[in-house]
């Protein structure tokens, strides 16, 4: 009989630190989605997939803390983008592997982490990124905590683009064409379902 290798635990990081300009400057994770803050749906879908949860936020930290997980702000001036949140998350993660999702994708796939993890281990990659319909979704990713020094250097040199940074590393894409609708971000009021 083959020995079964246990899967490594994954730390989960919800990125909720953006400016939300397309949402009129609202803190998107706290915007109502089906009667509760959008981040509540994200956490509910993400929690069963990871061994710990963390929230990266730059405003309303107390409101995010009510969900019972560690919340922390970026340690960079202004809003430097999702990579600043990833840097803070990699620095705090308890596990070697860290999965990220945005706070504005309340329908994220229930097998997101399992599929990213399988590909990352199979390819011995540094980063696994979800794609759907030929488009990459770089904030739905799994990456190795050991990338922290390289990420810090990229940010210190002024790099801000998630996709460009990921492509500079050993990266594997994972196609979720069967679940493309799960990657729909709710970026503006027009994306939200009608209240009621
Ligand atoms: N920690 C952290 N997260 C961020 C930052 N900028 C964006 N994010 C998060 O990354 C994800 C993708 O961000 P976008 O939707 O592209 O940007 P946004 O600022 O939220 O929205 P727009 O201002 O409308 O572009 C969202 O979940 C954001 O909350 C940042 O500076 N720090």
pLDDT at 83: 98
Residue 195: per-residue pLDDT: 67
Residue whose CA lies nearest to ligand 1 atom number 13? 18
Q: What is the pLDDT of residue 78?
A: 79
User: Does residue 1 belong to any structural domain of this protein?
Assistant: no
Supply the pLDDT for residue 77: 80
pLDDT the model gives residue 184: 83
Domain count, the chain: 1
Sequence-distant contacts of 30-35: CB under 8 A, at least 24 apart: 30/60, 30/63, 30/64, 31/186, 31/192, 32/192, 32/195, 33/106, 33/186, 33/192, 33/193, 34/106, 34/193
| Segments in the chain below pLDDT 70 | 1-2, 195-196
CB distance 38 to ligand 1 below 6 Å: no
CATH code where residue 135 lies: 3.90.550.10
Q: For residue 174, what pLDDT is reported?
A: 97
Give φ, ψ of 155 to 5 degrees. Answer: -70, -40
| Residues 175, 183: Cα–Cα separation, whole Å | 12
Which of 12, 14, 16, 17 is the pocket-test mutation for ligand 1 (most atoms within 8 Å of CB)? 17
Structural domain contains residue 195: no
Is the CB of 103 inside a 6 Å radius of any atom of ligand 1?
A: yes
Question: Which residue's CA lies nearest to atom 17 of ligand 1?
Answer: 18
Domain assignment present for residue 196? The answer is no
Give residue-wise pLDDT tens across range 29-80.
Answer: 999 999 999 999 999 999 999 999 999 999 999 999 999 999 999 998 878 9
- Which pLDDT value is given to residue 191? 87
Domain hosting 81: range is 10-187
């Amino acid at each position: 009989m083959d020995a079964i290798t246990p899967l490594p635990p994954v730390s989960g990081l919800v990125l909720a630190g953006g400016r939300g300009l397309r949402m009129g400057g609202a803190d998107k994770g706290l915007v109502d989605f089906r009667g509760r803050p959008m981040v509540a749906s994200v956490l509910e879908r993400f929690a069963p997939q990871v061994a710990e949860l963390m929230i990266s936020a730059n405003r309303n930290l107390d409101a995010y803390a009510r969900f019972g997980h560690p919340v922390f702000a970026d340690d960079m001036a202004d809003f430097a983008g999702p990579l600043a949140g990833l840097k803070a998350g990699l620095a705090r993660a308890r596990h070697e592997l860290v999965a990220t999702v945005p706070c504005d994708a309340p329908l994220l796939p229930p097998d997101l982490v399992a599929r990213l993890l399988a590909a990352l281990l199979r390819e011995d990659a540094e980063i696994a990124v979800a794609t759907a319909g030929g488009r990459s979704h770089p904030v739905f990713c799994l990456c190795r905590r050991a990338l922290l020094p390289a990420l810090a250097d990229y940010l210190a040199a002024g790099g801000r683009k998630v996709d460009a940074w990921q492509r500079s590393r050993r990266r594997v894409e994972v196609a979720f064409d069967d679940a493309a609708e799960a990657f729909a971000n709710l970026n503006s009021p027009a994306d939200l379902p009608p209240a009621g």
